[in-house]
Structure 1
Amino acid sequence: MSYQFITQAKLPTRYGDFDIHVFENEDGQEHVMLTVGLPLSKTQQSDAQKHDAPECNHSQPIPLVRIHSECLTGDALGSLKCDCGPQLNATMQLIQESGCGALLYLRQEGRGIGLTNKIRAYALQDQGHDTLEANLMLGLPADARTYDMCYPMLAHLGISKVRLMTNNPAKMDYLTELGIEVVERVPLVVGVNPHNNAYLNTKRDKMGHILDPNLTFQPVEN
């Protein structure tokens, strides 16, 4: 499946100013990338040359990158069932602090099974099944996400090496297979609480995520 760059703009946020880039595949599915301190795209370079703007300095450090799949319940609604919202917020803050990085926000809700099936899986989790068991009971894969769109998104800004923020070694493997060099894995363990402790344990014990074997949680604040 092919992906193409559509447009970009400035995006001021509570964490600082980002450039937001929109990409789309032939099915009309949209993905976005937030960047800070990265080289200009070819389109930006062309516009800068027209206005006699100084050329970008390509000697910047290897960018801090996070691949984050959409999670409406966690990212927007503050769900405590997962750690997605805190990871998204921490990523934006850490990228700003690093001064050079990118957040790839991929539109594949619920590890790729969609919002409705995700809530169906939640209902099964309420009955005592873990997140992996719930997906399988619905006849769905444990993880249906794909990462092929990451290459054109990163290539758009000429990024071939990254410092990857993740607890999931599979993401490192995916990027490596796409031709992106992962020079460092940066752990991102945030948002641990009583409601998602079992969820994180399942990711660690059954899905290969790199998490502390003695992972503990903080009480939920009222």
Structure 2
Amino acid sequence: MANVSDCVPEVRQVGGARLPTTWGVFDVASFRERTGREHLALIPPSAPESAPVPASASAVPVEASQAPAAVSTGPAPLVRIHSECLTGDVLGSLRCDCGQQLHESMRRVSAARRGAVIYLRGHEGRGIGLAAKISAYGLQDAGLDTVEANLRLGYPVDARDYSVAAAILGHLGLWTVSLLTNNPGKVTALRRHGIDVTQRVPLVVEVAVEADRYLRTKRDRMGHHLSEYRCIAPDSPGCQPTDSARNTTGE
């Protein structure tokens, strides 16, 4: 396995605290790249009395020996690499499944009591930025799908870089993980940067009818594993609210 420090950006832990949320209590650690871009890692405490992740006042690189409760032996910890989505995560947009995926990931990692949710900034609109994403939405309103809209604007279909995620996982000592994702590209990217992904764990969420075309495009044109998903309105064409969609294991 490659040494993650040889192929990913330098990332420093710059703070930490306890963070109670609707989906569980986490130790939250903040990280900063040399570019100034900041990211978060949400880690469930190993026990209620666990100390929060210590802040790093001098902002020195984190060593594996400093890792919090995410590091342990046994089956590979459950990890979610979540790309920033202001419209879905914060504004509650129904056009995508990002907010639902974030919340379900937090719930499942908290329930597992080990692992992490890595929240990556700079991934808005699959890496094209917030303003460009809104422009792409306008093109989708005119009939293009999410792939066609990005290409029409002169952007790649997916411009995200997961090297910083690998760096953060390495800092936390999470070299071997079970990855909570429907995107096989994330599995490939993390493995390329030295993270041993032992299995892909499907992330099935309930979506609004407004997200149906978006999910179909991700499945049919981007290779995401989305053969089934639950829909808020079961009578919507294309939505598949089946019992088997609740499966959370396997390919």
- TM-score between the two structures when normalised by the length of structure 2: 0.78
Which residue does the alignment assign to 2:77?
63
Work out which of the residue numbers 78, 92, 99 in structure 1 matches 2:92: 78
Work out which of the residue numbers 72, 76, 93 in structure 1 matches 2:107: 93
Gaps of 5+ in 1: 49-54
CA distance in 2, matches of 1:132, 1:120: 13
Secondary structure of 1:28's partner? Answer: coil
Runs of 4 or more consecutive aligned structure 1 residues displaced over 4 Å after TM superposition: 37-46
Q: How is 1:113-192 mapped onto 2 (pairs within 5 angstroms)?
A: 113-192=128-207
CA distance in 2, matches of 1:218, 1:5: 39
Q: Does 1:217 align with 2:225?
A: no
CA distance in 2, matches of 1:188, 1:56: 20
Work out which of the residue numbers 4, 11, 15 in structure 1 matches 2:12: 4
Q: Note closer, same or farther for the CA distance 1:127–1:216 as it changes in structure 2 (3 Å cut).
A: farther
Point out the more displaced range, 57-66 or 147-156. Answer: 57-66
Deviations 1:8-31 (A, max 9, x none): 111111122101111111110001
Aligned pair count? 212
CA distance in 2, matches of 1:37, 1:59: 15
Q: Note closer, same or farther for the CA distance 1:182–1:132 as it changes in structure 2 (3 Å cut).
A: same
Work out which of the residue numbers 204, 211, 225 in structure 2 matches 1:196: 211
Check whether the contact 1:160–1:181 (CA below 8 A) recurs between aligned residues: yes
Instruction: Give percent identity, aligned residues only.
Output: 48
Report the aligned-residue RMSD.
2.6
Which residue does the alignment assign to 1:111?
126
CA distance in 2, matches of 1:69, 1:194: 22
1:84 CA drift (Å) = 0.2
1:75 CA drift (Å) = 0.3
* Matched residue type, 1:8: G
Check whether the contact 1:62–1:100 (CA below 8 A) recurs between aligned residues: no
- TM-score between the two structures when normalised by the length of structure 1: 0.87
Deviations 1:152-198 (A, max 9, x none): 21111211110100000010001111111111111012132210111
* Matched residue type, 1:34: L
Q: Does 1:36 align with 2:44?
A: yes
1:7 CA drift (Å) = 1.4
CA distance in 2, matches of 1:115, 1:6: 25
Q: Note closer, same or farther for the CA distance 1:124–1:26 as it changes in structure 2 (3 Å cut).
A: same
CA distance in 1, matches of 2:70, 2:80: 23
1:4 CA drift (Å) = 1.6
Point out the more displaced range, 111-120 or 60-69. Answer: 60-69
Q: Note closer, same or farther for the CA distance 1:44–1:209 as it changes in structure 2 (3 Å cut).
A: closer
Which residue does the alignment assign to 1:207?
222
Check whether the contact 2:64–2:172 (CA below 8 A) recurs between aligned residues: no
